[in-house]
Structure formats: structure tokens, C-alpha cells
Copies of this chain bind each other. A is one copy, B any other.
Amino acid sequence: MRVGVLTGGGDCPGLNAVIRAVVRKGVQEYGYTFTGFRDGWRGPLQDRTVPLGIPAVRGILPRGGTVLGSSRTNPLNEEDGIRRIQDTLRRREIDALVTIGGEDTLGVAALLSEEHGIPCVGVPKTIDNDLSATDYTFGFDTAVNIATEAIDRLHTTAESHMRVLVVEVMGRHAGWIALHSGLAGGANVILIPEQPFDIDQVCAWVTSRFKASYAPIVVVAEGAVPKDGDLVLKDQSLDSFGHVRLSGIGEWLAKQIEKRTGHEARTTVLGHIQRGGTPSAFDRWLATRFGLHAIDCVRDRDFGKMVALRGTDIVRVPLAAATARLKTVDPALYQEVGVFFG
């Protein structure tokens, strides 16, 4: 049996751990051979491959990124995309395809599997942890640890100076990283995309925090927005192409807090350091177990499925579940955490 593997979408600590587990178990226990497709769906589209066997996966467990490369190429947007993929798989005699990726990558896998008879198994990947079909996705724990460590360091400065410290973390549509790292780091305000914020309320928390102890730390997801959207527009600037460009929400927030409370404010923008580097132990564990179970799906010819975490168990759910619903932060959970604000 010959199995293809590809990774799509943004990079995420743990991808290599999945690849390694799939290959190690596939080769050692089931005697499969493997073909690595390069750069996500672009690989089978353009028939670009890399050799994939035990030597290729040696030593990759602790390494971030993906040895297969990645891209956001979507075959549905390419002329004859699906047929070209079918051709590649047929020519290379691929019996099954393990696809590791987020909503987009798995959405294609679901379609190929259901409507075009291409035997796909999915492994969910999103650093934002916003997939409703699984308790957690790998990469998320690493990102939260990095953001938390950054917040820890800011407390020192907050104690010694009278500056509001704003930290902008990842999360365009879901506030999980902000919520977890903000709580773990002891932030005084956490702002998430799911709950448009009231800038007056933010400033009230800032002010009360100063009275209670020392300078506040504000964690804001990159996708968080104020209730009164006009506020942001009034503060826009032109980018270097001459287009209107919203400044990052972190920088915007710092300026608003300065203007409204009179307290100086500084911004840290963590950016891509949240998704790079070696995965945490939790993410390696989860990614490895996802890989082991994905190749078991192949062995069972249980296609059109995706592996998922439920409690401490790895289960199988339909691939379509991956794209069914974005898992956003429950208002009740946000309120639970709100006891630490201000």
C-alpha cells in the first residue's frame, strides 16, 4: 500500500510530529510506503513530491514547521484542479492520502473524499484552536506558552514603572490564545474578537488597576474590535501603498488608553514568534497520537474521516465536521475569567 502525505495552510508547531508518527507506524507496523507531496495541495496539483520514509522523519519531532513545506493553494480555484490531483494520485499509485491542515485544506479533502472517490484521512491543524470537532488542536499549547512567558516578563516592568503594557496576540476570529495566555499570565484586561469591547470600560479597568496595585497588562487578540467601530476609522493612517491601513489593534489601543486615561502605554506585538519554534510537550504528544491514529484509519480503510481529541481519547469524526462550525469562546467562559479584570 502506498500512502501520500501533505501539509497545508499556516505553519504550526507539531506538523513534523504528525508526519513522523504516520510514517513510523505505517512503515514499521503495516509495511506501507510513502510519498510526500510538497507544499500542500500544490504538491499533487503539480506532481511535486519528496521522498518520505524512516530516514526522512528522523530527528524532526522537536522541530517546528513542516519538512513537506506548506502553501495555501486551493485546487478548487485551479483550472482542472481536481482532475489533475486524480491524475497524479493514479500515476503514482497512491492508495490513500493523509491531509494535515486547517479548515481550507480539510474542506478540500472532504470534497475529494465524498464526491470524487479519493481516499482521504484528515488531521486537524489550527494554531487558533477554533475547530469545534476536537477539544484541542496541536500548536495552540505552544502558542499559549510563548504568549504567557511574554506576559510574565511584562509584570516586572509593570511593577517598576507606571506604564500600561499592551500585548497583541494571534486570533483573528477566535480569542482562545488571548484568553488562555491572558488568564495564565495574570493579565488585567483580555479582549477577544467574540466580544466587541467598550473602550470606556477598558479605560475604567486600567484606572482601577492603577489604584489597586501597579500598572495593568492588557492582552488583545489581533481580531478584537471596539464596539464603536467608527473609533478605529477615525484613527486610521495611509499605508505605503497609499491605501487606508488600520494600524494594529494593539498600537491603536495603546494610543487610545494614553489619550483617555493620561497614562503612558507601550505595545508588544508578538507576531509570528507564537507559531514558530519547538512544540511544547503537550503538542508533541497530541500531534504524535493524531498521526498514529490517522494511519490506523488508513489501515481500516476508514476514509473521509478526521482524527480528533475528546478528553484523553483520540476519536474519528467525519471530515466535513472540520469545517462545520468555528469554535469560538463561549460568553459564559469569558465571563468566568472576567473576575480577574481590572
Q: Footprint of B on A, CB under 8 Å? A: 10-11, 13, 24-25, 28-29, 58-59, 61-66, 69-70, 135-136, 141, 144-150, 152-157, 159-161, 163, 165, 180-181, 183-186, 213, 235, 237-241, 247, 255-256, 258-259, 266-273, 275-278, 280-282, 284-285, 288-289, 292, 310-312, 336, 339-340
Contact = CB atoms under 8 A, between A and B. Distances in A.
B259 A240 contact: yes
Given A153-B276, A154-B272, A135 B281 contact: no
Contacts of A11: 156-157, 160-161
Give the copy number: 4
Contacts of A10: 161
Given A61-B186, A65-B159, A267-B269, A259 B276 contact: no
A272 B268 contact: yes
A51 B65 CA distance: 26
Given A150-B273, A185-B281, 16 more contacts: A10-B161, A11-B161, A13-B156, A29-B339, A58-B213, A62-B152, A65-B156, A141-B282, A144-B282, A146-B153, A154-B272, A154-B276, A157-B272, A184-B285, A267-B271, A289-B336
A65 B157 CA distance: 6
